[in-house]
Amino acid sequence: MGITGERIRAALDSNPTLTLLKAYSRDWVLPLFAEHLDQIDGSVSAEWFHERVSEAREQVPDWQGSVTPAEHCRDWVEKRWLETETLNGRLRYRLSPYSLRALRFVRELVEGETTVSGARLGSITHAVRLLADMTNPDRDVQVRRIDQQIAELRKRRQDIASGRVRLATLEEMKQQLREILAMTRSLPADFRQLRTMVEDRHQEVARRAMVQGPRKADLVEDYLRENDLLSKTSQGTAYLGFSRLLSSRQTEQLRADIDQILAQEFAREHVTAAQREELDGMLSTLLAAELDVQSSYVRWSASLRRFLTRVAHGRHQRLLSLADRALHAGGTWVQAEPGQRYVPQDVLGVGPLAITDISQTQLWRDHGPQEVVVEVTEQRTTLPTADRAALRLAAGTSPRAVGRTINRLLASRPVVTGAEVFDATAPEFQRLGTLVSLLDLAVMHGQVDINLAETVRLSGDRAAALMATLPALVFDAPVPTKEVP
């Protein structure tokens, strides 16, 4: 479907990416975002970013004014240039997907990036070949294509083994690296854009549900399936395909290939530190972005399911409709006469609500008569002897107890071995569990030599002595017993 002139005009006034690019303040806002937020993986504290805003305004006198940095940030949040989150009770900022898109557009203009590249053409060729296989019902054609690919690979293998194929030049390797980084650099922003779409779509569905249903709680799941963003939109299906790829065995091969690149002389001598870091963290960044989208989808779906279930109740429906009309009237009032407005009387009788959308709250609860009686019966019985013995054995063979023994021995000598720690343990705790704890602590805080072996004798009621062999364990520093579970 083509884009009409009306849709373009509407986007110029409503799309946050376009409003940022045409804003009067873009001359200092875009450099501010690029310098302090674009390269941050996550969010920054509000206090720290307010200081950066003040510093940016002080550099150019024309940018100074009476508006405080906090007011600037609130305005950018309302314009959807910034997003907020609360961590440990403190406000934090991060770039919105719309700002990331604006910065990417400007970066492509400044750096002269182009979408024409060999890597992108190879991706297009592979996608066209897959589509050709999908649309052709003749299996023989697909088999012949695979046979042709196998023959081409065998010929290439012979050429490489015989030396008839030249090695890649340094410039070709640099160009390939630039193409890889250019193609993957925009993916985190696309993921964040999809996460924002999930939130917007769920709010839209909640608002529509208040008007036209569902009317019964048993219709909620059907309603959710009909409005599922990930299965009903092209962006969602593309995300699901990418998510399946990240969860497949191809991810292991991708990680191995990245490690191989970083281990070569090319990475050490001709790749910048920033490029190495970007390449090394590429997979983890994509996985984190994918998990962020999935978590947001699960969280908002659960919230929408609760909301739709509550909407089915008639009393709650009437309250939601009244509150929605009140919010709409307040928005129209502020739009006609800009400025803060206060309603002194609590018309709805629900108190102040810090919300931007009516679907975020629950205005009605069933406060029927409830009586909860808790009775505590005093019991002076003790644990059975077998259970007490089991608890004592678990505590005596735990990593915490073994760590205390190691630290006690290290107080009088520079180095202790695993056998010495085992011998210094009380005889009743010289069990297999102590050996397991010793191995765990040696891996985490000591040294393990599998070429040497030590033999210890396990305690217990046995007709014959039971000996255990373990690798040589050495401890030369105290073990942090507080960190041991």
> pLDDT tens, 1-54?
456 777 777 777 788 888 888 888 888 888 888 888 877 767 889 899 999 888
CB 333 within 8 A of CB 341: yes
pLDDT level of residue 379 (50, 70, 90 thresholds): low
- Exposure string over 205-237, b if 16+ CB within 10 A, otherwise e: bbeebbeeebeeeeebeebbeebebbeeeeebe
For the cut 50, the answer to whether the pLDDT of residue 98 exceeds it is yes
pLDDT level of residue 483 (50, 70, 90 thresholds): very low
Give residue 138's pLDDT: 84
How many Å apart are CA 261 and CA 275, to the nearest integer? 12
- Which residue has better confidence, 29 or 191? 29
* Alpha carbon 68 to its chain's center: 32
Give residue 218's pLDDT: 44
- Which residue has better confidence, 332 or 380? 332
Sequence letter at residue 363 = L
User: How far is CA 134 from each of CA 92, 150, 346, 347, rounded to the nearest angstrom?
Assistant: 47, 19, 61, 60
CB 23 within 8 A of CB 76: no
Mean pLDDT value across residues 286-290: 73
pLDDT level of residue 183 (50, 70, 90 thresholds): confident
Q: For the chain, what percent of residues have pLDDT higher than 90?
A: 2
Give residue 217's pLDDT: 44
Give residue 221's pLDDT: 55
Mean pLDDT value across residues 60-87: 83
For the cut 60, the answer to whether the pLDDT of residue 178 exceeds it is yes
Q: From the DSSP assignment, how many helices (H) and strands (E) are in the chain?
A: 22, 6
H or E segment and range at residue 90:
strand 90-95
Give residue 118's pLDDT: 62
Mean pLDDT value across residues 356-373: 55
Give residue 256's pLDDT: 84
**SS3 for 82?**
strand
Give residue 485's pLDDT: 40
pLDDT level of residue 151 (50, 70, 90 thresholds): very high
ω into 427 cis (within 30 of 0): no
For the cut 70, the answer to whether the pLDDT of residue 56 exceeds it is yes
User: How far is CA 453 from each of CA 42, 419, 470, rounded to the nearest angstrom?
Assistant: 47, 10, 6
List strands edge to edge, sheet with 90-95: 44-45, 90-95, 82-87
Sequence letter at residue 337 = E
CA dihedral 278, 284, 290, 296 (to 10 degrees): -110
Mean pLDDT value across residues 158-171: 85
pLDDT level of residue 225 (50, 70, 90 thresholds): low
Task: Give the mean pLDDT of the chain.
Answer: 76
Helices 187-212 and 234-246: angle between axes, nearest 10 degrees: 130
Of 421, 447, 453, the closest CA to residue 435 belongs to 421
User: Count of residues for the chain?
Assistant: 485
Q: Which residue bears the tokens 């002139």?
A: 5
Mean pLDDT value across residues 328-339: 75
pLDDT level of residue 216 (50, 70, 90 thresholds): very low
pLDDT level of residue 285 (50, 70, 90 thresholds): confident
CB 416 within 8 A of CB 406: yes
For the cut 70, the answer to whether the pLDDT of residue 330 exceeds it is yes
DSSP state of 24: T
Partnered with residue 447 across adjacent β-strands are 474
For the cut 50, the answer to whether the pLDDT of residue 147 exceeds it is yes
CB 459 within 8 A of CB 431: yes
For the cut 50, the answer to whether the pLDDT of residue 117 exceeds it is yes
For the cut 70, the answer to whether the pLDDT of residue 96 exceeds it is yes
How many Å apart are CA 56 and CA 29, to the nearest integer? 9
Mean pLDDT value across residues 333-358: 63
CB 289 within 8 A of CB 192: yes
Tell me, yes or no, if the pTM score tops 0.85.
no
Tens of pLDDT, residue by residue over 291-318, are 777 777 777 667 666 666 655 555 555 6
Of 459, 318, 300, the closest CA to residue 393 belongs to 459
- Pick left, alpha or beta for residue 91 (phi over 0 → left; psi -120 to 50 → alpha; otherwise beta): beta
Mean pLDDT value across residues 419-427: 88
Q: Which residue bears the tokens 């060999």?
A: 118
How many Å apart are CA 235 and CA 191, to the nearest integer? 10
Mean pLDDT value across residues 319-342: 71
Give residue 261's pLDDT: 87
Give residue 340's pLDDT: 66
How many Å apart are CA 257 and CA 266, to the nearest integer? 14
**Which range among 46-50, 178-182, 245-249, 378-382 has the greatest average pLDDT?**
46-50
For the cut 50, the answer to whether the pLDDT of residue 164 exceeds it is yes
Mean pLDDT value across residues 126-147: 82
Give residue 358's pLDDT: 52
How many Å apart are CA 63 and CA 109, to the nearest integer? 25
